[in-house]
Amino acid sequence: MEKDAVIQEHASLENQLVSLQTQINSLTTEVDNLISKVSSIKKEYDQAQSELNLSRSKMKECDAEISAIVKEQQKPQHKISDANVMRKKLENEVLQMEMEQKDCSLKVDKLLERHSWIAAEKQLFGKSETDYDFSSRDPRNSRKELEKLQAEQSGLEKRVNKLWHCSRKLKMNTMTYYPRKTSLRMISQKSRR
């Protein structure tokens, strides 16, 4: 009995061994298939990753090109905005000059009304070698010369006034002194006759 049981157990174990062996073979085949599948997937992944990296580098290049294009587009926009600012500034200057011209025209008309000599000598304005040749004369130098002459005139006026006062005092002093002398002369002349 015991022998039968051992034989049965042995047969059962051999059946189990054969069954386990087939399972091992089946699992080994499945593992081999999975390993090849993983290897294939890894190759596909690596290829996809390299394509992704290539796409990313192309995108970076495109981004750089887009940035350069945007900068190039901004340059004319800046020029346009600068030109618009300059245009507005010039328009304002033109308006201001037109207003100043109107004011000057009014002033000229008033000057012509007040001073008749302007109309008489108007044909000489701006002609060379006349008193009105302003292109050959520097207004700043003329102003300096005028100020110098005015200062000189003021100094002369002071001197003349001083001399006039001195001569007046002298005359007054002489009048007080000479009337006696004149009266004495008159008396002496009468007595000689």
d(CA 27, CA 7): 29
| Residue 124 neighbours by CB under 8 Å, 6+ apart | 130, 131, 132
Does the structure show a pLDDT above 80 at 53? yes
For residue 75, CA distances in Å to 65, 67, 81, 108, 129 come to 15, 12, 10, 48, 54
CB contact set of 111 (below 8 Å; sequence gap of 6+): 118
Mean pLDDT value across the chain: 85
pLDDT band per the 50, 70, 90 thresholds, residue 81: very high
The pTM (predicted TM-score) of the whole model is 0.37
pLDDT score of 122? 83
Residues 6+ apart with CB under 8 A from 133: 126, 127
Picking from 77-81, 113-117, 174-178, 186-190, which range would have the lowest pLDDT averaged per residue? 186-190
Mean pLDDT of 53-71: 94
- Tally Cβ neighbours within 10 Å of residue 121: 13
pLDDT, tens only, 155-179: 888 888 877 877 777 777 666 655 5
Looking at the chain, the whole-number percentage of residues with pLDDT higher than 70 is 88
Residue 39's pLDDT is: 94
DSSP structural state of residue 128: T
| Token pair for 147 | 């100020």
Which of 122, 95, 97, 94 has the alpha carbon at shortest distance from 108?
122
In degrees rounded to 5, what are phi and psi of residue 138? -95, 120
